[in-house]
Structure 1
Amino acid sequence: MELKRRSLLAAIGAGTAAAALSACGTGTSAGGSADGPAEGEITLLTPIYDGADGKTLLEKEILGGFRKKYPDVKVNVDYTTYEQLNEKITTGLAGGLLPDVLMMGVGWIPPFAAKKAIAELPEKFATAHDYEKRVLEPSRYDGKLYALPVVLDTRIVVYRKDHFAEAGIKKTPANWAELRAVAKQLTKDGRIGFDPFSIHLRQCWETFLFANGGQLFSADGKKVLFTDARGVEALQFFKDLIKDGSA
């Protein structure tokens, strides 16, 4: 199985934030050993190539090159959402039928690696691409590699200068207290001052957690850190915005 999974990972690996992982489950398996020919079937569970455009990108462009290189390997794609992903994985664990390759977001790897639900990857995969060391950190648990980064994105804030001018706000907020005050000022006539729901709220909260100096897990991935004071403060900030009516 290693050859088949490695080839698929090599075909789709670039960037970070969501990760492709080889599962320990007994899903539809490709025939032969790691040293044999690349043939058979691979199952891939993914929440990130949604919609018609996403499906075209994955199956035509990304997997297209893989299929040309390995014409005897069939890739069966199971599309899902992040909301349903955990249920699909846990159901697969309970039934002993996990896909060969899973794709999930940052923060998912340590919990599933700790439960031995996903398989360790050869360390040489870490040097197969020009990854920054920090980019690979979320893909590790207890110092071992369990995933390869696939997607790298950034978080930006967009604001309306005319709304700021209308409210008499002359500068952008420099800290959370100022952001909350500005959000309250901007909330009027059915308009909300700050919209954390423009992306998945968990992802928005993670951004504030990191900005507050927090981390999801310890360096070895064995200890949960997001429940400490920094994580609670980030969550409290959102609760305060809702209390103000400005989110």
Structure 2
Amino acid sequence: MELNRRSLLAAIGAGTAAALTGCGTGTGTSAAGSADGPAEGEITLLTPIYEGAKGKKLLEGDILGGFRKKYPDVKVNVDYTTYDQLNEKITTGLAGGLLPDVLMMGVGWIPPFAAKGAIAELPEKLAETHDYEKRVLEPSRHDGKLYALPVVLDTRIVVYRKDHFAEAGIRKTPANWSELRAVAKQLTTKGRVGFDPFSINLRQCWETFLFANGGQLFSADGKKPLFTDARGVESLQFFKDLVADGSADYSRKTDTGAPSNVQTGQGSMMMTTSALWV
């Protein structure tokens, strides 16, 4: 597997693109409504981001604080969840006909919910008021129509400890999977793991390797799963081989929000997100 421009763009596309979308009727047709009246009443927002006390302060204090000043007659009720529970909450709401007014969801979620009429089409002018890259807006569309707006974009990347590399006499970063596996095994020493693929969402980590390996999740029409082909199996096997080598250890995974193994020195390389820079 060589990382070229195409696979890099695919990997970037696998990052979490949290999108803000309005809810539809859930009956197969979008809710049209009218925007001509005054902004007043209550709306509900379901979000899997803005975790913890800091996230809540950012959303309800800074972001919604400005919104309330502009629209004092609108009350926003926030329902916090996680990505692991988000799909269950949305599907349960669909079944009961009680979806929130505004949903935040990840990349790849928009087309299937739009196809079911669960979310409402948005005016194209909303996308035009911001300087979005065309590629970033693509996951927010279905059949050429806009159903969401991106609010957060991050990427999946491999980071490494320069001091561990220098100590082991490794002078260059791995250029392919074989080199990555060999370097990981070499760095597995002194009670640390050479590579940690488990301390972020495992599905997203595997997807990144799948895309970099030239694979896809689904066919262009979304009807045929492609992730079970040889490229998908190879990507999963890569993780199993790391575990077999002793270079990776699922029991050493860190919890969300805790210092990572690379930060604490308990790991030499890891798959993480661009949020680590913060």
User: 5+ residue gaps in structure 1?
Assistant: 1-15, 27-31
Matching residue's letter, 2:233: V
**Taking structure 1 as reference, are residues 117 and 133 closer, same or farther at Cα in structure 2, changes over 3 Å only?**
same
Contact 2:25 2:117 in 1 (8 A): no
Deviations 1:168-225 (A, max 9, x none): 3232100111101111222234311101123222222232233233444556656655
Deviations 1:52-109 (A, max 9, x none): 1100111111111111111111110000111111111111111110001110111222
Tell me the secondary structure at the aligned position of residue 157 of structure 1. Answer: strand
- Superposed displacement of residue 39, structure 1: 0.7
What does residue range 149-228 of structure 1 map to in structure 2 within 5 Å? 149-217=150-218, 224-228=225-229
2:24 aligns with 24
Contact 2:168 2:187 in 1 (8 A): yes
**Taking structure 1 as reference, are residues 157 and 127 closer, same or farther at Cα in structure 2, changes over 3 Å only?**
same
Task: Give me the whole-angstrom Cα distance separating, in 2, the residues matched to 1:210 and 1:50.
Answer: 28
Higher relative contact order structure (alpha carbons within 8 Å, sequence separation ≥ 6)? 2
Task: Give me the whole-angstrom Cα distance separating, in 1, the residues matched to 2:223 and 2:79.
Answer: 30
Matching residue's letter, 1:155: R
Q: Which moved more, 1:182-191 or 1:171-180?
A: 182-191
1:86 aligns with 87
Tell me the secondary structure at the aligned position of residue 43 of structure 2. Answer: strand
User: 5+ residue gaps in structure 2?
Assistant: 1-15, 27-32, 249-278
1:76 aligns with 77
Task: Give me the whole-angstrom Cα distance separating, in 2, the residues matched to 1:135 and 1:221.
Answer: 19
Tell me the secondary structure at the aligned position of residue 193 of structure 1. Answer: strand
- Superposed displacement of residue 119, structure 1: 1.8
TM-score (norm 1): 0.82
Matching residue's letter, 1:59: E
Q: Aligned residue pairs: how many?
A: 227
What does residue range 114-133 of structure 1 map to in structure 2 within 5 Å? 114-133=115-134
Matching residue's letter, 1:131: Y
2:96 aligns with 95
1:234 aligns with 235
Contact 1:23 1:99 in 2 (8 A): yes
Aligned-pair identity (%) = 88
Matching residue's letter, 1:168: G
- When the two chains are superposed, the root-mean-square deviation of aligned CA atoms in Å is 2.2
